[in-house]
Amino acid sequence: MKLQRKTGLRATALGALAVSGALVLTACGSDDNTGSPDGGKKTGATSSIKCDGAKGQLLASGSSAQKNAMDLWVKNYMAACPGVEINYKSSSSGEGIIAFNQGRVGFAGSDSALKPEEVAESKKICKSGQGINLPMVGGPIAIGYNVPGVKDLVLDAPTIAKIFNDKIKKWDDPAIAKLNPGAKLPSTPIQAFHRSEDSGTTQNLGKYLGKAAKADWPYEAEKKWPAPGGQAASGSSGVAAQVKQVEGAIGYFELSYAESQSIPAVQIATGAPAPVPATSENASKAIAAAKVKGTGKDLALELDYATKAEGAYPIVLVTYEVVCDTGNKADTLGTVKSFLTYTASDEGQKVLAEAGYAPIPAEINAKVRETVNGLS
C-alpha cells in the first residue's frame, strides 16, 4: 500500500479540501470508527455518503487505471457504511466487461466504452435493459521513462509512436535530441513496455497516436497491444514496476502510478505554445472539451486526442463504471446505487485530484448522477 504524493499543483487545486495525507489506499476495509449506521450521516470526509439500501457484499472488477481512485472511494464508503463490503478486483477493462456480461459482478470498470457487441451481450444479464457507460474517473495517461540524468523529457506524438512501434531504438536518436536541445541523452537502448492483457489504457493510447501521429501509427485503436517489439507486463502496476526497475525503459500508465513510484513523466509537445506536463489539471482541460456520444442513458464520451489547446494534456482516459440501466440484480442494486452516488458526488469527485486523477466535468457529472438515481 502506498501513500499518494501531493504535488504543489494538486495542493493548489484542492485548496482547503480536508483529505488527510495519512489516507492509505486500500480496498480491504477501514479501522475508522466514526461511521454511523443511520444512512452514513457523519462529519468529516464521508459526511455526504448515504448508505440507504446498501447491504452485504458488492463485487466489482475491471480497469486497473482507476484502482487507486477506487481504493480511496472504497475506504471512505466502507468507513461510513459499516456492514457493507465493496470488493473491487483490479484486473483490466476487458476482464471487467467479461465478468459483467457473465453476471459475476455488480458493475465493471472500463477505460473504453462498451462496443456494440458487448452491449448486445449485456442484454442477457440486464434482463429488461442493457449495459451502459457512466464516466466516473478522468485522468492523464503518463508516459513514464527511466533515463538517469534526463529531466523534463519532451516528446511529441510521432516520436512516441516510433518508439512504441520499434522504429526509434536508442535514447540519443536525432528525433528525441531535436525535441530536447541541451539534454545529455545517452545511447542507452530503449526498452518499451506495454500491457500484456486487453486494456482500455492501451486503447486510449492508440486513439491518441492514431489521431495525432497517423503516419507513424498505422494500427486500429484496440485493447490488445498491436505493435511489434517491446516487452509486455500485466496491468498498469506491472508496466510501472518495469519502468521503475529497468534503465532505458519507457511505458504508459495512469498518472498515479508514476507519482506513487516517483517515475518521471514525459511532457507532450502538442503544437501548443509550450510542452504540456501530465497533471490532473491539464488532463481536466482536455476532458472538459469532451462530448457525450452515447444515446439514451448511455454517457459514453468522445475525447479530442489531437487537441492543441494551451495547457491541455492530450493523452487522457475516462474510466466508465458499466452497469445495467434496468434489470440490475435486486440483491446488489441498492449498494450499487449508494456507492456510485457517492463516487459521482462532489466529495467523491474532489478526492480524485488527491489521487492524481481528474474529476469528470460538472455538466457531464450531473447527467451521471441523474442516471445513477434512475437505475433499477
User: 155 versus 3: which is more confidently predicted?
Assistant: 155
Average pLDDT, the chain: 88
- The answer to whether 132 and 324 have CB atoms below 8 angstroms apart is yes
Classify strands 85-90 and 57-62 as parallel, antiparallel or unpaired.
parallel
DSSP string, 41-102: --SSTTTT---TT--SEEEEEE-STTHHHHHHHHHHHHHHSTT-EEEEEE--HHHHHHHHHT
The Cα 7–Cα 357 span in angstroms is 12
pLDDT at position 353 is 81
Per-residue pLDDT tens over the stretch 75-103: 999 999 999 999 999 999 999 999 999 99
Q: Please state which of the ranges 33-37, 106-110, 166-170, 318-322 shows the lowest mean pLDDT.
A: 33-37
Per-residue pLDDT tens over the stretch 255-282: 989 999 999 999 999 999 999 999 999 9
pLDDT at position 46 is 43
pLDDT at position 34 is 34
pLDDT at position 316 is 95
Q: Is the pLDDT reported for residue 235 higher than 50?
A: yes
- When computed from its CA atoms, the radius of gyration of the chain, rounded to whole angstroms, is 20
Q: Is the pLDDT reported for residue 232 higher than 60?
A: yes
- The answer to whether 153 and 183 have CB atoms below 8 angstroms apart is yes
Quickly state the pLDDT bin for 181 (edges 50, 70, 90): very high
Grid coordinates belonging to 127: 434482463
Classify strands 316-324 and 301-302 as parallel, antiparallel or unpaired.
unpaired
Q: Please state which of the ranges 36-45, 151-160, 357-366 shows the lowest mean pLDDT.
A: 36-45
pLDDT at position 49 is 94
pLDDT at position 297 is 96
DSSP letter at 142? E
Instruction: Please compute, for residue 165, the number of CA atoms within 13 A of its CA located in the half-sphere on the CB side.
Output: 18
Residue 170: which residues within 8 A CB-CB, separation 6 or more? Answer: 187, 188, 189, 190
Per-residue pLDDT tens over the stretch 17-51: 333 333 223 333 333 333 333 333 333 344 679 99
pLDDT at position 2 is 36
Taking residues 42-65, report their average pLDDT.
80
